[in-house]
């Protein structure tokens, strides 16, 4: 653990003490969706387990999923039941928390097409199931969205949302907003064209689908679209900011996190990188990739957009979490969202207008020297621009970004954002990519390695108001797990070598750690059990992009394995085996 | 839990309080071989964890093996290191107990031939590795014996011991006796001819190999062979007690447990069922199958043999454990062994002479009415004899026996044998079996079901001196795990639905239980860690013959799946997932 003030800056922004919308549809004791609330805080008001007794945590029970791939999902808890979805083959389990040892109530096996295993870019992960009003919603690797009755485990409906033959898969956790379930696609590395869709929770009928590229009609851009920055204004930019018809295979998939503000009735989500990685093949800003959309939750109409990475050069997807909070800015309370981007900058954005209030690096960044708050555009460092048939060295952060999908947690008590992330750089050579439907469409050779300091992972407390690191803990491997913070001022995360850790949310002191059976890339949660005790749960099961070397038995001598992420993890297989297991802890 | 005196009998035998040969080559704190000692007691002198504090046991750490098949092995502990061998692909791990979280020191991957998966009769199990003098010895499914340096994980030697093309595999745990490692083969359901071999610990050179069928020269029967019963005397009975050349495919494999008495310098081990199951195809006693050999540990010469099941009718292998103890019989201390056989009888045998001192049913048996202590022969119940093209009903115990391989534990303190076993019966129809090398050679259709009472598993305390049950616990599923008993008067076992239980060795009271991630079919052990604390460890990972329905994804509608053992376990998949994990417990 190290305290760091590397990114200290004048404290222009002061955070208010209250969360705007920590929606808890089924009570403070439960955890009904991966982020727990629509604001994506991953904050629990439970505080039976606090800094004074967290060191007494013990394993209450465990449950093997029987699946060996990377377990990136959160277990969720609602109605006295824990629900978990596994990586492919996407088994959905209900565990009865009211019975000793939490036996299986039911299991639902969706039988996704085996061929989906061949077109997932980075392991066969799934990031979670969501519970709402007695129904469960989740996606399968072969691009289906499925609704299941939470009591019985019976299928209510299923809908094929994407085309496996084009490399289109689904890995993200849905979000339920009122009577719609929101889902998006994966497959940016296969030239898949991204979208977010809203399905009727009762029938699965598609109510709207908003594409991330193409004409305004496809993107659901209309009269109510008011982007803050001039660069995002104009007709059919989703076509014109691309060469020819490149937008049709241009990426911008929606495989990350969605937030929702019920007062503004807006949903927020990021779009992934443009395809292919080789940016010379797609001159232009490549709208609407690598940015964030605010959309009307009912109609899907775009209300604003902001592009973190116009003409993305580095696979810097914009899909990371958007954590909604209120913030006092120069004496005025503003509804903001905090977004730690793959490009290594932490953005605080006015979520009504799309105005960027601050953008500061939270990691070592040498690809973007600053973000121009007048234009909203990043200032790219010319010497780091990848070129065809030339190896550009020391690109930081690497393709997986300053952080990737692994979600932060925000505590209204400490007013800090807890960011799990990696510290990695790369050398890159752009190469020509040919599009063949259903095959990889990347166009880059990368060699990844640890960033300055030699450690590959960081768990960091970041103050979004003062824009600086309050403390950080260095880890040998990328911190590829989610974060959880509680009213007990304890923050939890896991490591890829299998340590589940509890840290003082204020100081970063490690208060407790427990070695689980496999590396952790899942999302920790907490809940109150039917017996009244507070439990903490996390799935172990190493994998995901960073852990694909283990989950996929990859050969680190192959520089292209896991798009370059196998080689720098060559020491992981000796320190973490495969194995999906839910670990549930409590103070005895 | 139920106390039972079903098999009460006059207490002719009084047990002495001391074990004969609880050899502990590397100290009382360690557990260097699956049974801990050469006497096969599975008794530990450790007593920090006793009946007063066992309820405080908590998970110390876990380790995922990354393998999903049935984990029947014991972890072993020697030299501050835990060694575990997995089911196929038979990974061998060394975990450093001196470091927090017990990280992997090294892993050895033997790369057994994938084809071995096709010829293992009942899941792809391995029953353990053994440590002796800095070397580790284990067998691979493709019938190799391998020696590995315990410090470095480097291979010392390997030897191909059997022929996969004939269905010959290896699943048993070796035993090291002085400068030899003893190993035997599996494959009785493929017509494999059984043997026990002794290999030089330093070079792997085969010092002797004793076959279970065939001419005396093959069986290592010579001048020193003195069987107690007349029926075992005569020349080349391993040929003449078979029709024609049937002995060449007659089974009698050696896949179970070996014990060793250093004073007598004798090794004891059982031989498996004769092949095929259809007994009409092999008139005669089918020597030397379904019995026990005592052999000179140096030369391998047979010293005596006793046949539990001459002309076995029911797949009643004789491979179960032989627990060595001294016993006061009618005022005279005798060196005996206790053997709970598949046929449901508990034998106490003078291990010098081979005389059966007592033989009583420890489970419900209706296939054998009694054992004639004068002739040593069982009295078969004629109405239960399987016949060709006729279904004989209510055969108890079923083919897996009153108990199978899952080893008992014996405490010199309580003088009780703790027997994990099943309570199952079957209907059977014999059919003609054709021998084709490398394919199943069984000749029986069986339908298995729970025995009287409806429970399928029992954990039982048996008094070998008085020949009666002291207490027993009924379990829903067969108790397919091993047993462990300690000087703290605690006995441990696991269930196929994932409960690891600690029981008062005197009363059978369940003092503690913990739900692990998968069903338990492994062998629990205890040891003192480098930090001075007593630990208890067991591998979870359901499978084996009884759990093949889960480990092998078998369809219970197929009556022949797992030779009939899938159908009666149709409710197991909903109550236990796959997943190999070592669980290590301690009192915090």
**Is the pLDDT assigned to residue B2 strictly greater than 80?**
no
Query: Which of A515, A518, A580 is nearest residue B61 as measured by Cβ atoms?
Result: A515
Classify A528 as helix, strand or coil.
Answer: strand
Residue of B nearest to A91 (CA): B577
Measured CA to CA, the distance from residue A393 to residue B336 in angstroms comes to: 75
Q: For residue A120, what pLDDT is reported?
A: 81
What pTM did the predictor assign? 0.94
The answer to whether the Cβ–Cβ distance between B578 and A514 falls below 8 Å is no
* Mean pLDDT across B416-426: 98
Instruction: Please tell me if residue B333 touches chain A, with a CB cutoff of 8 Å.
Output: no
**Is the pLDDT assigned to residue A28 strictly greater than 60?**
yes
Which of B62, B498, B551, B574 is the best residue to mutate to test the A interface, defined by the most A CB atoms within 10 Å of its own CB? B62
Query: Which of A102, A577, A588 is nearest residue B64 as measured by Cβ atoms?
Result: A577
- For residue A505 the two structure tokens come to 């949310």
Three-state secondary structure string covering B151-202 = CCCCEEEEEECCCHHHCCECCCCCEEECCEEEEECECHHHCCCCEEEEEECC
Say if residues A475 and A451 touch (Cβ distance below 8 Å): no
Residues A455-481 as b or e (16 or more Cβ within 10 Å = b):
bbbbbbbbbbbbbbbbbbbbbebbbbb
Please name which of B462, B267, B466 lies closest in space to residue B357, comparing C-alpha atoms: B466
User: Would you name the residues of A annotated as active-site residues?
Assistant: 189, 273, 315
Please name which of A517, A524, A463 lies closest in space to residue A493, comparing C-alpha atoms: A524
Q: For residue B8, what pLDDT is reported?
A: 35
The answer to whether the Cβ–Cβ distance between B64 and A515 falls below 8 Å is no
* Mean pLDDT across B328-334: 93
Instruction: Please tell me if residue B581 touches chain A, with a CB cutoff of 8 Å.
Output: yes
Measured CA to CA, the distance from residue A371 to residue A171 in angstroms comes to: 31
- For residue B34 the two structure tokens come to 């699956």
Please name which of B127, B123, B566, B542 lies closest in space to residue A63, comparing C-alpha atoms: B542
Q: For residue B119, what pLDDT is reported?
A: 87
Classify A182 as helix, strand or coil.
Answer: strand
Q: Which residues of B touch A499 (CB under 8 A)?
A: 101
Q: For residue B584, what pLDDT is reported?
A: 98
B379 is an active site residue: no
Which of A578, A579, A582 is the best residue to mutate to test the B interface, defined by the most B CB atoms within 10 Å of its own CB? A579
Residue of A nearest to B63 (CA): A517
- For residue B360 the two structure tokens come to 């009583």
Convert the pLDDT of each residue in B450-508 to its tens digit. 999 999 999 999 999 999 999 999 999 999 999 999 999 999 999 999 999 999 999 99
**Is the pLDDT assigned to residue A233 strictly greater than 50?**
yes
Kindly report the number of other CB atoms within 10 A of residue B110's CB atom.
20
Kindly report the number of other CB atoms within 10 A of residue B52's CB atom.
11
Q: For residue B27, what pLDDT is reported?
A: 85
Q: Check whether the bond before A276 is cis (ω within 30° of 0).
A: yes
* Mean pLDDT across A354-377: 98
Q: How many helices (H) and strands (E) does chain B have?
A: 3, 39
Q: Which residues of B touch A514 (CB under 8 A)?
A: 59, 61
* Mean pLDDT across A155-160: 98
CA end-to-end distance (rounded Å), chain B: 28
The answer to whether the Cβ–Cβ distance between A578 and B515 falls below 8 Å is no
Mean pLDDT of chain B: 95
DSSP letter at A413? Answer: T
- For residue A351 the two structure tokens come to 């979520």
Instruction: Please tell me if residue B497 touches chain A, with a CB cutoff of 8 Å.
Output: yes
Please name which of B80, B94, B97, B200 lies closest in space to residue B152, comparing C-alpha atoms: B94
Distances from the Cα of A171 to the Cα of A224, A267, B577, angstroms: 31, 19, 23
Q: For residue A1, what pLDDT is reported?
A: 36
Please name which of B492, B570, B472, B470 lies closest in space to residue B536, comparing C-alpha atoms: B492
* Mean pLDDT across A104-115: 97
Confidence of residue A388 (pLDDT cuts 50, 70, 90): very high
Residue of A nearest to B586 (CA): A58
Q: Which of B90, B139, B273, B322 is catalytic?
A: B273
Instruction: Please tell me if residue A552 touches chain B, with a CB cutoff of 8 Å.
Output: no
Measured CA to CA, the distance from residue A96 to residue A78 in angstroms comes to: 10
Distances from the Cα of B255 to the Cα of A31, B81, B162, B173, B259, angstroms: 49, 26, 13, 8, 13
Say if residues A434 and A456 touch (Cβ distance below 8 Å): no
Measured CA to CA, the distance from residue A341 to residue A405 in angstroms comes to: 9
Say if residues B262 and B181 touch (Cβ distance below 8 Å): no
Q: For residue A577, what pLDDT is reported?
A: 96
With tokens 């049913």, the residue in question is: B361
* Mean pLDDT across A564-581: 96
**Is the pLDDT assigned to residue A24 strictly greater than 90?**
no
**A193 alpha-carbon distance from chain centroid:** 19
Lowest-confidence segment of A181-185, B2-6, B333-337 by average pLDDT: B2-6
DSSP letter at B217? Answer: H
**Is the pLDDT assigned to residue B567 strictly greater than 60?**
yes
Rg (CA), chain B: 21
Beta bridge partners of A287: none
Residue of A nearest to B102 (CA): A515
Please name which of A141, A176, A179, A134 lies closest in space to residue A162, comparing C-alpha atoms: A141
- Greatest Cα pair distance, chain B, in angstroms, is 64
Q: Which residues of B touch A58 (CB under 8 A)?
A: 58-59, 588
Classify B551 as helix, strand or coil.
Answer: helix
Measured CA to CA, the distance from residue B384 to residue B378 in angstroms comes to: 14
Q: What is the ipTM of this complex?
A: 0.92
Q: Which residues of A touch B518 (CB under 8 A)?
A: 64, 66
Instruction: Please tell me if residue A331 touches chain B, with a CB cutoff of 8 Å.
Output: no
Distances from the Cα of A206 to the Cα of A196, A299, B278, angstroms: 11, 12, 62
Q: For residue A26, what pLDDT is reported?
A: 55
Residue of A nearest to B578 (CA): A66
Mean pLDDT of chain A: 95
DSSP letter at B552? Answer: T
Query: Which of A61, A516, A575 is nearest residue B104 as measured by Cβ atoms?
Result: A575
Which of A56, A62, A84 is the best residue to mutate to test the B interface, defined by the most B CB atoms within 10 Å of its own CB? A62
**Is the pLDDT assigned to residue B275 strictly greater than 70?**
yes
Query: Which of A578, A581, A588 is nearest residue B517 as measured by Cβ atoms?
Result: A581
- H-run or E-run covering B583: strand B581-586
* Mean pLDDT across B337-365: 98
The answer to whether the Cβ–Cβ distance between B574 and A59 falls below 8 Å is no
Query: Which of B102, B517, B574 is nearest residue A62 as measured by Cβ atoms?
Result: B517
For the CA atoms of A26, A27, A33, A39, what is the dihedral angle to 10 degrees? 110
Classify B430 as helix, strand or coil.
Answer: strand
DSSP letter at B388? Answer: B
Classify B158 as helix, strand or coil.
Answer: strand
**CB-based contacts of B275, cutoff 8 Å, min separation 6:** B188, B189, B190, B191, B192, B249, B250, B251, B282, B441, B442
- For residue A482 the two structure tokens come to 């989610």
Residues in chain B: 588
**Is the pLDDT assigned to residue A15 strictly greater than 90?**
no
**Is the pLDDT assigned to residue B120 strictly greater than 60?**
yes
Convert the pLDDT of each residue in A437-462 to its tens digit. 999 999 999 999 999 999 999 999 99
Please name which of A363, A377, A248, A255 lies closest in space to residue A311, comparing C-alpha atoms: A377
* Mean pLDDT across A395-416: 98
Q: Check whether the bond before A384 is cis (ω within 30° of 0).
A: no
Instruction: Please tell me if residue A476 touches chain B, with a CB cutoff of 8 Å.
Output: no
Instruction: Please tell me if residue B516 touches chain A, with a CB cutoff of 8 Å.
Output: yes
Which of B75, B86, B577 is the best residue to mutate to test the A interface, defined by the most A CB atoms within 10 Å of its own CB? B577
Measured CA to CA, the distance from residue B157 to residue B277 in angstroms comes to: 36
pLDDT more than 90, % of chain B: 94
**Is the pLDDT assigned to residue B24 strictly greater than 50?**
no
**Is the pLDDT assigned to residue B341 strictly greater than 60?**
yes
Shortest distance, CA B479 to any CA of chain A (angstroms): 18
Measured CA to CA, the distance from residue A581 to residue B516 in angstroms comes to: 10
Backbone angles phi, psi at A36, to 5 degrees: 75, -40
* Mean pLDDT across A500-524: 98
Instruction: Please tell me if residue B540 touches chain A, with a CB cutoff of 8 Å.
Output: yes
pLDDT more than 90, % of chain A: 94
For the CA atoms of A118, A121, A126, A130, what is the dihedral angle to 10 degrees? -110
Q: Which of B123, B189, B463, B504 is catalytic?
A: B189
Measured CA to CA, the distance from residue B188 to residue B191 in angstroms comes to: 5
* Mean pLDDT across B82-103: 98
| Cα within 13 Å of Cα(A581), Cβ side | 38
Say if residues A587 and A533 touch (Cβ distance below 8 Å): yes
Lowest-confidence segment of A45-59, B25-39, B60-74, B155-169 by average pLDDT: B25-39
- For residue A122 the two structure tokens come to 């980075």
Lowest-confidence segment of A49-63, A108-122, B390-404, B487-501 by average pLDDT: A108-122
Backbone angles phi, psi at A383, to 5 degrees: -70, -15
B189 is an active site residue: yes
* Mean pLDDT across A420-433: 97
Beta bridge partners of A444: A430
Measured CA to CA, the distance from residue A72 to residue A92 in angstroms comes to: 14
């Amino acid at each position: 653990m190290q305290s760091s003030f590397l990114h200290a800056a004048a404290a222009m922004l002061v955070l208010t003490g209250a969360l705007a919308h920590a929606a808890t549809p089924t009570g403070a004791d439960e955890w009904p969706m991966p982020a727990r609330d629509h604001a994506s805080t991953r904050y629990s008001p439970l505080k039976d387990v606090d800094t004074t007794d967290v060191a007494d945590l013990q394993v209450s029970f465990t449950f093997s999923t029987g699946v060996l791939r990377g377990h990136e999902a959160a277990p969720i808890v609602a109605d006295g039941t824990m629900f978990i979805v596994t990586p492919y083959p996407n088994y959905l389990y209900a565990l009865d928390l009211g019975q000793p040892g939490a036996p299986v109530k039911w299991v639902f096996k969706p039988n996704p097409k085996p061929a989906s295993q061949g077109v997932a870019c980075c392991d066969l992960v799934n990031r979670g199931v969501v519970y709402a009003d007695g129904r469960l919603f989740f996606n399968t690797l072969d691009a289906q969205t499925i609704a299941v009755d939470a009591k019985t485990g019976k299928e209510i409906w299923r809908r094929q949302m994407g085309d496996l033959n084009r490399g289109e898969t689904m890995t993200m956790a849905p979000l339920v907003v009122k009577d719609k379930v929101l889902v998006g696609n994966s497959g940016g590395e296969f030239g898949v064209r991204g979208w977010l869709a809203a399905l009727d929770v009762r029938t699965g009928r598609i109510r709207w689908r908003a594409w991330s590229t193409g004409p305004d009609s496809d993107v659901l851009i209309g009269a109510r679209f008011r982007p803050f920055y001039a660069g995002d204004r104009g007709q059919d930019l989703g076509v014109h900011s691309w060469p020819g018809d490149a937008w049709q295979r241009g990426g911008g998939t929606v495989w990350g996190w969605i937030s929702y503000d019920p007062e503004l009735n807006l949903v927020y989500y990021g779009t992934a990188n443009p395809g292919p990685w080789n940016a010379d093949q797609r001159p232009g800003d490549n709208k609407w990739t690598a940015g964030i959309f605010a959309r009307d939750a009912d109609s899907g109409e775009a209300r604003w957009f902001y592009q973190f990475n116009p003409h993305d050069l580095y696979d810097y997807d914009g899909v990371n979490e958007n954590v909604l909070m209120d913030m006092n800015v120069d004496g005025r309370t503003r509804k903001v969202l905090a977004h730690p981007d793959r490009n290594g900058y932490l953005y605080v954005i006015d979520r009504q207008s799309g105005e960027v209030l601050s953008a500061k690096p939270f990691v070592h960044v040498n690809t973007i020297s600053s973000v121009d708050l007048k234009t909203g555009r990043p200032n790219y460092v010319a010497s780091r621009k990848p070129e065809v048939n030339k190896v550009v060295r020391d690109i930081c952060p690497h393709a997986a970004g300053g952080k990737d999908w692994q979600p932060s947690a925000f505590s209204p008590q400490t007013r800090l954002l807890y960011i799990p992330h990696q510290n990695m750089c790369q050398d890159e050579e752009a190469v020509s990519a040919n599009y063949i439907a259903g095959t990889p469409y990347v166009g880059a050779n990368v060699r990844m390695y640890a960033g300055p300091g030699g450690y590959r992972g960081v768990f960091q407390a970041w103050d979004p108001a003062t824009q600086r690191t309050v403390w950080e803990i260095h880890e040998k491997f990328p911190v590829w797990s989610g974060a959880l913070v509680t009213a007990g001022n304890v923050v939890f995360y896991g490591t890829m070598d299998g340590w589940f850790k509890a840290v003082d949310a204020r100081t970063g002191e490690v208060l407790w750690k427990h070695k689980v059976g496999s590396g952790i890339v899942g999302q920790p949660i907490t809940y109150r059990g039917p017996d009244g005790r507070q439990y903490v749960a996390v799935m172990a099961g190493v994998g995901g992009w960073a852990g694909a070397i283990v989950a996929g038995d990859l050969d680190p001598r192959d520089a292209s394995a896991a798009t370059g992420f196998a080689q720098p993890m060559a020491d992981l297989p000796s320190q973490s085996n495969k194995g999906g297991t839910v670990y549930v802890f409590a103070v005895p």
